[in-house]
Amino acid sequence: MSTSFLHPCLRRMFSDRGGNFGVMTAILMPVLLGAAGMAIQVGDILLSKQQLQEAADSAALATATALANGTIQTSQAETFARNFVAGQMANYLQTGVDIQNATVVNVQTTTSGKSTTYQVTVSPSYDLAVNPLMQAIGFSTQHLSTSGTTTSGHSQSQGSISMYLALDKSGSMGDPTATVNEDDPTEPFTYDCNGHYNKKDKWVFDTCTGSRTKYYTKIEALKIAAGNLFSQLNSADPNAEYVRTGAVSYDLVQYTPSNLAWGTTGVTSYVNALQTGGGTNSSGAVSTAYSSLTAKNAAGNDAEDAAHKQKTGQVPKKYIVFMTDGDNNDDSRGGRSYDTLTKSTCDTAKSKGIEIYTIAFMAPEGGQALLHYCASDDAHYFQAEKMEDLLAAFKAIGAKASAQVTRLTN
């Protein structure tokens, strides 16, 4: 074939553009598919990365919080965090992905005085299978990894308190409760029996001895209840560095008080030595409780505040615990001035920020009304109709005061 014939044919072929689109499409198709796959995969990667980051952050926070709260020990932190990540990612992971073993957990504990801080770092990772379009251009997996760090903890700080008890020891406190004495459940007693005429023809009785159930008296119940309160305070402040206590007892008059002192040794001995007798007049005892908590020292400053500041550098929380089983007697003029004076002292104490807990122990309506008035609020008033109620009341007061002494700050 002559060149004169080929040249025009070749020119026509190369100048013909009718098949260009098909050729270009065939050439660019893999590139276009890869680009489309990449766009879809990037969206999947970003979403999966966000899910993994949220799981890491949540696991770090949950682990640090559990350590701070004492729910888990440091030795358990790694397993706890890995399980948490696996649980968070369970709905997102493909079958066969073992994210637990691919999660690295680091826990650092810092202790300063009574403050403990936990820094937890959780670093999960896994291989994400790519879509078929990405696989078509040579990719099989995409490695995802992230890290979350959280610091959490608590400082166990001590809160100073001063507590003064005003306790009723009137004659009715010697009455029995309805609670059997656990340590000594029965007691002997004598009674008249076998009535007969004696030689002088006079009707007389023999003396017989029997056994009967022995119940706790009110004063015994009070000593046990107060002892439980003191034990709670001792547990919160075993070295007697933050708690000062005192007490005064009363019937128709008030008795020599146990002055405020560190710990509970003095007040425990004072309460255990109480003996019942006399009428009821709470005004002097409540006044003594208030004046003891607010007395001035030689420098003219609050003596209790100064005592605590010198030892702990803190201003104490102040409490009065006021208990009675009766109604104040009328005064010498037949009035109710004992109630009036008691209420006035309670008003003054509350205005000074002193919290007043009151316990009406099997008390009549008058006594209940007075104590309800004196309490800081309804939550500070306890109406104890039996010994078990009295124990529960003092336990609740002890728990509240002990919480003030030992405070956890997250």
379 contacts: CB under 8 Å, gap ≥ 6? none
Strand partners, 301: none
Per-residue pLDDT of the chain (410 residues; tens, 9 = 90+): 555 655 565 566 556 555 555 555 555 556 555 555 555 556 677 888 888 999 999 999 889 888 887 788 889 999 999 999 999 988 888 777 889 899 999 999 887 655 678 899 999 998 877 666 655 555 667 788 999 888 776 655 668 999 999 999 999 999 999 999 988 899 999 999 999 999 899 999 999 999 999 999 999 999 999 999 999 999 989 999 999 999 999 999 999 999 999 999 999 999 999 999 999 999 999 999 999 999 999 999 999 999 999 998 889 999 999 999 999 998 877 778 999 999 999 999 999 999 999 999 999 999 999 999 999 999 999 999 999 999 999 999 999 998 888 754 54
Alpha carbon 363 to chain centroid, angstroms: 32
- What's the first-to-final CA gap in the chain, in angstroms? 97
pLDDT at 148: 87
b/e map of 206-223 (b: 16 or more CB within 10 Å)?
A: eeeeeeeebbbbbbbbbb
Q: What span, in angstroms and rounded, lies between the C-alpha atoms of 255 and 248?
A: 7
pLDDT of residue 137: 58
pLDDT for 136 equals: 58
Cα separation, 71 vs 51, whole angstroms: 26
CB of 286 closer than 8 Å to CB of 344: no
Is the pTM higher than 0.75?
Answer: no
**So what's the pLDDT on residue 277?**
96
**Pairing state between β 125-129 and 141-145:** antiparallel
Q: How far is CA 112 from CA 22, 109, 160, in A?
A: 75, 10, 20
Distance CA 69, CA 77 (A): 13
Neighbouring C-alpha atoms within 13 Å toward the C-beta of 23: 5
Query: Residue 47: its pLDDT value, please?
Result: 85
Domains located in the chain, CATH noted: 22-154 (no CATH), 161-175+215-409 (3.40.50.410)
Query: Do the Cβ atoms of 151 and 165 come closer than 8 Å?
Result: no
pLDDT at 26: 54
- Both tokens of 179, joined, read 């609670």
